[in-house]
Amino acid sequence: MFRELIPSLRACAVTFLACAVIYPAAVWALAALIFPSEASGSLLIRKDRSVVGSALIAQKFESDRYFHPRPSACDYRADAASGSNLGPHNADLRKAVAERAAKLKATHEHPAPVDLVTASGSGLDPEITLKAAEYQVPRVASARGIEVERVRALVQKMTDRSGAVLGAPARVNVLRLNLALDDERTGPR
Amino acid sequence: MDWSLFHPFWAIGVPIALSIPLGRLMARLLDPPADRVGRGVDAVPMFLIRLFGHREPATMDWKRYATALLAFNTTLFVLSFAILWAQNLLPLNPDGKGPLTALGYKDAAGIQHDGADTAVIFNTVCSFVTNTNLQHYSGEQHLSYFSQLGGIVWLQFVTPACGLAVMLAVIRGLRGDRHLGDFYLDTARGLVLVLIPLSLVLAVSLVASGVPMTFDGAVKANTLEGAEQTIAVGPVAAEVAIKQLGTNGGGFFGPNSAHPLENPTPWSNILEVIAIILIPMASIVMFGRMIRDRAHAVVVYGVMAAPLVVGAGIAIWSELQPSPAARGLPVTSGVNMEGKEVRTGAVAGATWSAITTATSNGSVNAMHDSFQPIGGLVPMSLMMLNVDFSGIGAGFLNMLMYIITAVFLAGLMVGRTPEYLGKKIEAKEVKLAMLAILIHPLLICGGTALFAGTAWGPTTVANPGPHGFSEILYEFTSAAANNGSGFEGLADNNPYWNIATGVVLLLGRFPSLVLPIAIAGFLAQKKRVPPSTGTLRTDDLTFGAMLLGTVLLVGALSFMPAVVLGPIADHLTTVVATP
């Protein structure tokens, strides 16, 4: 056993160098060279260089003037992400779903989309389904005082259908949609 | 058109197709004929072992091979413990993460203890040295970038390479080679010829889809509604690539591949899910090439794939059912979306859950704790069987133990001396194989009974009733199977859970690596018996059925009572009616 100690120590040093130094450095260099924006976290930056957020991370929206993302078990904390981990038979989950449905003013004739009443796995899901966006269109339009059709058209324009062949649903990035919505108000179009 | 049900065909079909050329390539690269050693690309691993102090490839018998394995892993354990313990003193810590021991924990009586839990480091090191990646910490909250790369990524590379090395040695023993090879050369070949190149390609593809790779600290954002949001980033892509390819599973962020920065698009999702199972599948193809018996390898491959395919089907069906939590409420009747992400959804979440537990990967793209009870039963059962491709190298070794048992049982049935690949299987091998098989249920059922029966378990579960019992059962199953996924509601970061699962992790890993080396060593010395009409064939459907039956029978006998108390009881519970 002790005779084996020297080669094992040297093997540790060499493999550490290969796996924890050279390999990450190579990935980092290639990433910075080819995909600099993605490598730094797909950040959306204002004209004054301040960061609005990441296109891949949900942020909290409470105003009626904006589309809302899916519920978050970690209150949209992007440095401490987590899901709810509530089992389907847990009374707490049922209570949370009922409260969210009530807050969305859902009725049995006009039920809430399932992704708007359930917490996402990461608590940071940046997207909602197209149905969940359409559900919120009347609220956003009336809060902004613009025609429903204009908002609906914007939602359609912002819908991401990529990966459909892999089974991904049509979906909308909430932060990008809300940014587009703000542009719509001020823009000349 | 709804294409979601096509997802499992991509997720299982593509890796099957890729495993055949990759397996052949691995056989060529990892087990070159004597005249090719050190030539061409093999010069790189030969150069590395010279740095280790081996001038020529060593010729190790089983004892020396096992000793080298244990010595290397002991050194890994000590060094990675030191790195994690000293993380606040080491560089690459832009967010100023404190020592890992400062996490603190609530004890069974609910009293908070601060800065007293060195056991979390013990647990983390056990978990990563055993290729498991059970995480009782949360990556983006508790680890510095140095710990992520120097502690986690390093072990995520070398531990699957160790598993692969042991597999190569055991196959050489079965083949009847005079020695089992050189442990360090096998490990170096696995690293530089398979794991590092594949990870490099995958990591860069993941960055293209949006996975960050930066050494800058967390980003402060000023949100559209004017609030502050701190966005944790880091060298994520490098870690995600090897966590998927090396049957590791330990993510950079707490929610693993459910986190949009680990798995941002449907495309990254399919790449990651293929990466989970690619090398475990390819290693069986490699086995067939090395023993020059394709038909037998096909039987083994099929027996490994069958429970995976059935399990994925059941999990998908189960997650497509509406959640009982929404029954009667004004919610569109849809799939079970609690704990899942929109871009992947229920089908991809369930498919991933089966693939990640059939192999001993353990990464997740949806929270298993929030699955339907039957949906959660699938990953649990696949870990209990622990032979459906399972960990790189380790899965083949587990299956070998079942093959020896099945050959023995079949031999008893027809009254002949059992043989495997032309070698007589005798009492000594069968005893060791049974020992290797029985450790697994003993660890799971023993640990679960201890924690369910004392305050350690019930005070830490997040869900009431049978689901709470399932959380305890899942945690021990995941630890014993060296998987690393979890029913993450469990408050498992306290000394009881850290020490208990740490010990289970070690006992789940090293006996099931060392016992097969011993068996291979014994078999290598036996004379090859020429096949006759009385030889039991191991390359036909009958043997496949016999082997699958043995696996399922041992699994059912060992785990059925525990499963009935957990997920089955949970499934039969009616939902609590609240307004």
Mean pLDDT across the stretch B188-192?
A: 97
Mean pLDDT across the stretch B62-87?
A: 96
The shares of helix, strand and coil residues in chain A, as percent rounded to the nearest 5, are 50, 10, 45
pLDDT in tens, B438-458: 999 999 999 999 999 999 999
Residue B324's contacts (CB-CB under 8 Å, 6 or more residues apart) are A88, A89, A94, B575
Chain B neighbors of A78, CB-CB under 8 A: 221, 229-232
pLDDT in tens, A42-69: 999 999 999 999 999 999 999 999 999 9
- Taking the C-alpha atoms of residue B419 and residue A126, their distance in angstroms, rounded to an integer, is 57
Q: How many CB pairs under 8 A join A and B?
A: 408
Mean pLDDT across the stretch A20-43?
A: 97
C-alpha distance from B34 to closest chain A C-alpha (Å): 23
pLDDT at A188: 44
pLDDT at A186: 54
pLDDT over threshold 60, residue B221: yes
Instruction: Say which residue the tokens 């009336």 belong to.
Output: A142
Contact A43/B223, CB-based, under 8 Å? no
DSSP state of B458: T
Lowest mean pLDDT among B1-15, B206-220, B503-517: B1-15
pLDDT over threshold 60, residue B1: no
Chain A neighbors of B128, CB-CB under 8 A: none
Mean pLDDT estimate for chain A: 94
pLDDT in tens, B18-48: 999 999 999 999 999 999 999 999 999 999 9
With residue B305 as reference, give the H or E element that holds it.
Answer: helix B294-320
Chain B neighbors of A12, CB-CB under 8 A: 72, 75-76, 79
Q: Nearest-CA residue of chain A relative to B195?
A: A19
Tokens encoding B57: 């490839």
- Taking the C-alpha atoms of residue B506 and residue B111, their distance in angstroms, rounded to an integer, is 29
- Taking the C-alpha atoms of residue B174 and residue B538, their distance in angstroms, rounded to an integer, is 14
pLDDT at B557: 93
Provide the chain B residues 341-400 that lie in CB contact (below 8 A) with chain A: 341-345, 347-349, 364-367, 369-373
Do B175 and B183 touch, CB atoms closer than 8 A?
no
Do B492 and B478 touch, CB atoms closer than 8 A?
no
Instruction: Say which residue the tokens 């794991």 belong to.
Output: B195
The 10 Å Cβ neighbour count of residue A189 is: 5
Chain A neighbors of B211, CB-CB under 8 A: 38
Mean pLDDT across the stretch B281-295?
A: 97
pLDDT over threshold 50, residue A5: yes
Tokens encoding B253: 């962020």
Interface residue B255 vs chain A (CB under 8 A): yes
Model-level pTM?
0.96
- Taking the C-alpha atoms of residue B67 and residue B303, their distance in angstroms, rounded to an integer, is 32
Q: Which of B238, B365, B369 sits opposite A24 (nearest CB)?
A: B238
Do B61 and B209 touch, CB atoms closer than 8 A?
no
Q: Nearest-CA residue of chain B relative to A64?
A: B225
Tokens encoding A118: 């359930």
pLDDT at A1: 63
Per cent of chain B over pLDDT 90 is: 88
Q: Identify any residues that bridge with B112 across adjacent strands, giving them in sequence order.
A: B106
Q: Which of A38, A108, A117 sits opposite B210 (nearest CB)?
A: A38
- Taking the C-alpha atoms of residue B25 and residue B398, their distance in angstroms, rounded to an integer, is 23
DSSP state of B331: B
Mean pLDDT across the stretch B85-110?
A: 84
Mean pLDDT across the stretch B331-344?
A: 94
pLDDT at B579: 43
pLDDT at A178: 97
Per cent of chain B over pLDDT 70 is: 98
Do B236 and B263 touch, CB atoms closer than 8 A?
no
Mean pLDDT across the stretch B263-292?
A: 97
- What are the boundaries of each domain within chain B? 36-572
Amino acid at B116: A
Tokens encoding B101: 């021991």
Instruction: Say which residue the tokens 């009982």 belong to.
Output: B324
pLDDT over threshold 50, residue B313: yes
Mean pLDDT across the stretch B492-515?
A: 95
Torsion angles phi and psi, residue B222, rounded to 5? -110, 105
pLDDT at B534: 77
- Taking the C-alpha atoms of residue B343 and residue B334, their distance in angstroms, rounded to an integer, is 15
C-alpha distance from B133 to closest chain A C-alpha (Å): 17
Tokens encoding B561: 């009572």
Chain B neighbors of A90, CB-CB under 8 A: 325, 463-464, 467
Chain B neighbors of A51, CB-CB under 8 A: 219-222
Q: Which of A39, A53, A66 sits opposite B213 (nearest CB)?
A: A39
pLDDT in tens, A136-147: 999 999 999 999
ipTM of the complex: 0.95
pLDDT over threshold 50, residue A189: no
Task: Determine the 3-state secondary structure of B557 from DSSP.
Answer: helix
pLDDT in tens, B515-529: 999 999 999 999 998
pLDDT in tens, B148-187: 999 999 999 999 999 999 999 999 999 999 899 999 999 9
Tokens encoding B114: 């601060």
pLDDT at B108: 65
Per cent of chain A over pLDDT 70 is: 97
Provide the chain A residues 1-60 that lie in CB contact (below 8 A) with chain B: 1, 4-12, 14-16, 18-21, 23-24, 26-28, 30-32, 34-35, 38-43, 50-60
- What are the boundaries of each domain within chain A? 5-38, 41-186
- Taking the C-alpha atoms of residue B429 and residue B406, their distance in angstroms, rounded to an integer, is 12
Provide the chain B residues 179-198 that lie in CB contact (below 8 A) with chain A: 184, 187-188, 191-192, 196
- What separation in angstroms does the CA of A37 have from each of A51, B62, B205, B239, B504? 13, 51, 14, 19, 43
DSSP state of A48: T
Q: Identify any residues that bridge with A43 across adjacent strands, giving them in sequence order.
A: A54
Do A99 and A128 touch, CB atoms closer than 8 A?
no
pLDDT at B416: 82
